[in-house]
Every structure is written in structure tokens, then in C-alpha cells.
Amino acid sequence: MTERKEFRDLAEPDAAREAIASLDLVPEPESVPLEEARGRVLAERVDAAIDVPGFDRASMDGYAVRARDTFGADEADPVELDLVGAVHAGATPEVTVEPGTCAEVSTGAVMPDGADAVVMVERTDERPADGSGTGGNDGGDDGGDDRPARIAFRTSVAPGDHVMAAGADIAAGARALGPGTRLTPREIGLLSALGVDEVPVRGRPTVGIVSTGDELVRPGDDLDPSRGEIYDVNSTTIAAGVTEAGGEPVLYPHAGDDYAEMERLLREAADECDLVLSSGSTSASAVDVIYRVIEERGELLLHGVAVKPGKPMLIGRLDRADGGESAYVGLPGYPVSALTIFRTFVAPAVREAAGLPEPRTATVEGRMAVRERYGEGRLRLMPVGLLDLGDGGTTGGGAADGAAADGPAGDRDLPLVYPVDKGSGATTSLVEADGVVAVDPDTEYLEAGEPVTVQLFSPDVRPPTLLGVGEDDPAVNRLLDRLENPRYLPVGSREGLRRLRDGVPDVAVVAGPTDRDVDSVVLGEWSREWGLVVPDGNPEGVEGVADLVDRDLRFVNRPTETGLRRSLDDDIGDLATERGGSRADLTDRIDGYGLTLRAFESPVRRVLAGDADAGLGLRETAERLGCGFVPLGEQRVVVRAATDRADREAVASLAAELDDDGTERLLAGLAGYSA
């Protein structure tokens, strides 16, 4: 009489999950063409190799000018400039804007040499060569030979007005997408804008599927009910589940209850797949022999789970011909039980191996993190980001004076919703937002703490585990790579502190001096060397800030929100004090002081291209890109957490990466950095 395998000491569900978690299902990373990357998961960080846009671009129809030529212009006393030509989108400029001249430009056109701002066409008048007026300009210009000789400007502009500078959307060297990002159409769009054609992605685990049992018949074959035959439902059902979970299903021929045939199929599947799934032949029947195959050709970790449906479940490993192992899970034979066990225990493991998040619904209820004003009388689809504080974090509320915390208790458990809107031309808005909130035309404002419904960009959207804002910095990019699904907005140190005060982000990264006092907890800090980036060999012999003021050097600056800019301004202020003048007097003498670029690498690339003699930057960036460097000092970079978020799991994980050893590893190889 054949001995029956009996279930004894059924494992608890958590034990089954732990057993599956101990299996290695993660395949090797691979590279795929961009057109095949949708739905895949990035295996490593992708940095921008180019500026987007790659040129200074007019952001509206009008006239490209030297901003200083318009100073003082108004409706009563316009300024007239000679029109020297036109530049249209997609064309190379063939004109140069000299002092006292202007050029017609269309939206998206390359800014001509010499011009640093655009005046919208609605604020201009056409003047014929004799100087008599022709009335207001409504934009109707056919660009023909009767183009007026002079243009009257009824407003003044500042350098950079109505110009999208090269790299303003995303700058070369900036962190575009981090490892673990699932590539949806919006990320594909960003990668396309960066010119990426091959994408490093996590491999999809291959899952071999073997259905067992003498009673099974493949769909399409003849069925003999008199012999108790049934169609094989599990193979196609489980294969669909594997695909949905991010795996690659491989269907093998149906196996009966013959030991030799079952062993052959399972070993073939183990040699070719990361995970082998079988359905049927797992119960304690005399003819159910699969557990013996696993015991003799691998390792049986678990047989039987205290769950209904799905008690007869196997978990183990199968030996491969190459000496390695393949993971194995045996599912029950009944389709409902098989699918239930697959979705409860196996699908999460497949998703984790593929780097995919748990599925979500297409809408999420949240609460506004800040007060958002609106009064344009139109339906607004407001891009927003989500931050789920459900692991024990509190509401924050900062500038809302606790408004978010004073709402109903149920509302306080909702995710934070914060506006994300960098303009319709910014591709990065797509990856910094999770969805949109529809704001009715008659809504004047959304109050902090007010419940809202977020329409997700797709059901696959997963809010970040941690939201950071502040200074852009090479070490911060490395730090983010060590965290699970973070989101970081490089808004600068000043803006980062303001947002931290307002209670939106978990952390802010602040560089250089600051006069803001924000209640926060310091998680970690380091130093970085800053100064002037110059061409290799420093051909102009630049020695410091005084050279920018006293000599005819072209300079590239950083925005006022950044720590680098604050340190530079302090140095200029010290120089002004030494000379008995004002800082404004000195900055007016620096060619390019008012033109700023967004990311820490952008000034370096302008210097490399020969478009500037010096730029504000870091030693690390200068050395990495082959430029010279004139040191001006060191800055402390401090990672600060909102006091009421310090106990969040994601914040604690970040803090753990910034202990003494962690910070040393983080800064290893970064020139000019020290703990």
C-alpha cells in the first residue's frame, strides 16, 4: 500500500510569505530600446546628458532685445529700436542683436546672439522708417518685405524675461529619473526629450508554468467527460496573473501524475526560468508525487499553509543543471484556490522581483498640504504630488497654522496633496506630479487640510515614500539612490526652507548661509568646495570675485534661491564694504550676473562651450567635466527634517544613511567634499 503524504503542523501565512521571500527571483538587469521600455523599471539612475531645451528659447511671440535697451520704457514714453530681422522656430538665427536693435522672434525660436530678453508683441508698436506711428501691434505681421524699420516698446524687461534658458526644463548633469522608477508614457516622454534610445531596466522574472494531473486537457483538444477530464484552466489563468505582476510567463506541456515525466518537466523549467509554478498534485493523495520530486531534486521549505482556500501549497527550490537553483511554488489544483494563493503569496514576490509597486486604484482621496489660491474662473486641472504619511507621521501644517490638523480625524489620515506646476512647457512636471485635482471654475481657493480627490495619471502611480526639497547637489543625487522611491524637488535652499516651514516636505537640503529659522531636526551634513569654474588652464588668469567686477569677463550665475548664489553675494558684499560702495554697484558691473542657470552643472557646460569665461560652481563638477577651478570657500550642506516627521520610517531610513560611516561612503570620490 502506497504511503500517503499527510499535512502536519500547517505553516502560518506569515511563514509562507517569509519562505517565498527567501527565494531568489530577481533576474539580471538588461538594456532595452526606448520604444520597448513602457512598463519596465529603471535599474539605475538616468542623468540628463544634455540641456533641455538645448538652447535659449523664446517663450512667446515678440521681439528679442537687449534688456538694457528697454530700461525706462513705458506707455507714455516708449523706446524705439531698429528691427534687423526675424528668427522663427526651427531656424538658425542669421541676425545679431546689437545695442539699439531688436529682432522679431516666434515662440520656440532660438534666441539670436546679443539678445537676453523678449518683449511680447502686444506691448509694441510698429514704426515706419520715417518715424510716424502705425498704431498698436496686435501680432499681425506677415514677415514680408514691408516689415517696419523700427519697433516702439511700451514696456521694459529684465534679462531673461520671456526666455526659457538652456537647461531650464532639465539641465545636463541633473538627476532625471532614479532607480526603481516605473516607465510610464510620461517618463518615456522625458527620456525622449533627453535623446535616450537605450534604457537600463530591471529584468522581468521568467516564470515557468506546469499544470499537472491526468484529468487535464488543453483548451482546444477533445474532452472526454466520461473519464473525468476537464480543461486546464490554471495554465492560462496563472500566466495572465504573472504578466499582470510584471513577470514573463512560459507555458510548458501538461504533465500527468507520472513521476518521471513530472521530474523531467520541472527540471527543464528550472533550467530555463527564475521561478517554477505548478498547479495540482500538491494534496496528500497517494498519486500526488510532486513533493517527492522537490525533496529529491531540490529542497522543500514548506508543505501546507493554514489558509482557506489553498491549504495544499508547496514552497521550495529546484536544482539547475548549471549548479544553481530556481525558486519553486506549488499551487493547489482548483482554479479558485490556485488563483487566490497566487495573488496572495506569489504575485507580490513577482512584483517585487520586477521592481513593480502594488496596484492602486485610479483615484485617491487626499488633503491639501497648503492653501492654494485660484480665481481665474476656468476649470483648472491642477497637477499635484502625493505624500502618504500613513506610517505614523503627523500632518505638519506650518503656514496653515495647524489648519490641516484641525479637520476631522478621518481627514488627518489622508495623503498630503501639494501643487506641482512648473508650466506647460516643462516635461519634468509630469514625473514630479502623480495626478491632477479638478478645481471648479467658481472655487477661489483650496484651504490647507481640505479633502480633495486626485485623479492619478495611471493606476500604477505610487506616491513617494519620502519628499525632499532644496539644493541640488551631487551628493544628494547619490543619497537619493539609496532610498526607496524618494521624490526630490531641486528648488534651492531658500525655497526649500520655506516649504519646510509650510509643512509640505519631509526634508529640506540647505547649503550655505541662511537667515531663516525653521523648526527642524538635523539628519546629517557635509562640506563642499565652491568657487569659479573657468576653462582648463585658466587662460584669463581669474583669481577671484574682484576679477568679475573689474574685468570684461563673461559670467554665468546661479538663481537667488541657491546656496551657491547666497555665498557669492556675501563675497561681493564683503568686497563692496572693502571698497566703500554697495553690492548693487558691483553686481551691475558683472557681465552676466543677472542671467542665471538652474542646475549646478549648467554654468560649467557654458564655460566648456566657450560661451562664458567663468561660472559659479563646485570643484567636483569642474574636475569631473575637465574645467579649471578657482576656490572661493567651503559651504556646509545640511539635511534637515521636519520635527513632526522625524519618526517616519522613510525619514529614519534617510537618517541611517547619514551616520558617520554612511556619510563617508556617500562622499567617496567627490572632489572638494568632506564630512
The C-alpha cell that represents 642 in the structure block: 521636519
The C-alpha cell that represents 477 in the structure block: 543625487
The pLDDT value recorded for residue 74 is 95
Instruction: Label residue 400 by pLDDT band (50, 70, 90).
Output: very low
The pLDDT value recorded for residue 311 is 75
Q: Which of 545, 554, 559, 553 is nearest to 597 (CA)?
A: 559
Instruction: Name the segment(s) of the chain with CATH classification 3.40.980.10.
Output: 13-27+204-354
The pLDDT value recorded for residue 147 is 58
Cβ neighbours around 65 below 10 Å, total: 29
CA distances from 224 to 214, 228, 230, 280 (A): 12, 7, 8, 20
Most confident option among 166-175, 235-244, 269-278: 269-278
CATH number of 57-164: 2.170.190.11
Instruction: Label residue 9 by pLDDT band (50, 70, 90).
Output: low
405-423 per-position pLDDT tens digit: 444 444 567 899 999 865 5
Q: Which of 452, 426, 457 is nearest to 367 (CA)?
A: 452
Q: Are strands 230-231 and 298-303 parallel, antiparallel or unpaired?
A: unpaired
The pLDDT value recorded for residue 27 is 92
Instruction: Name the segment(s) of the chain with CATH classification 2.170.190.11.
Output: 57-164
- Quote the CA–CA distance of 589 and 596 in Å, as a whole number: 16
Instruction: Label residue 388 by pLDDT band (50, 70, 90).
Output: confident
242-290 per-position pLDDT tens digit: 998 999 999 988 776 677 888 888 999 999 999 999 887 654 443 356 7
Burial of 440 (0-12, 13-18, 19+ CB in 10 A): exposed
Burial of 634 (0-12, 13-18, 19+ CB in 10 A): middle
Instruction: Label residue 426 by pLDDT band (50, 70, 90).
Output: low
CATH class of segment(s) 30-53+168-201: alpha beta
The pLDDT value recorded for residue 219 is 67
Percentage of residues in the chain with pLDDT exceeding 90? 60
Q: Judge whether residue 392 has pLDDT over 60.
A: no
- Quote the CA–CA distance of 499 and 517 in Å, as a whole number: 12
Average pLDDT, the chain: 86
| Global model pTM greater than 0.75 | no
Amino acid at 357: P
Question: CATH second-level architecture of 363-463?
Answer: Beta Barrel (2.40)
Q: Judge whether residue 361 has pLDDT over 50.
A: yes
Q: Which of 8, 666, 505 is nearest to 284 (CA)?
A: 8
Instruction: Label residue 138 by pLDDT band (50, 70, 90).
Output: very low
CATH number of 507-674: 3.40.190.10
Lowest model confidence (mean pLDDT) among 67-76, 184-193, 304-313? 304-313
Instruction: Name the segment(s) of the chain with CATH classification 3.40.190.10.
Output: 507-674
Lowest model confidence (mean pLDDT) among 358-372, 470-484, 494-508, 527-541? 358-372
Q: What is the mean pLDDT of residues 474-485?
A: 94
The pLDDT value recorded for residue 137 is 54
Percentage of residues in the chain with pLDDT exceeding 70? 87
* Domain 13-27+204-354, CATH homologous superfamily name and number: MoaB/Mog-like domain (3.40.980.10)
555-593 per-position pLDDT tens digit: 999 999 999 999 999 999 999 999 999 999 999 999 999
Contact status, residue 403 vs residue 448, Cβ threshold 8 Å: yes
81-133 per-position pLDDT tens digit: 999 999 999 999 999 999 999 999 999 999 999 999 999 999 999 987 654 54
Instruction: Name the segment(s) of the chain with CATH classification 3.90.105.10.
Output: 30-53+168-201
First to last CA, the chain: 73
In eight-state DSSP terms, residue 403 is T
177-235 per-position pLDDT tens digit: 999 998 999 999 999 999 999 999 999 999 999 987 667 666 677 777 777 767 777 78
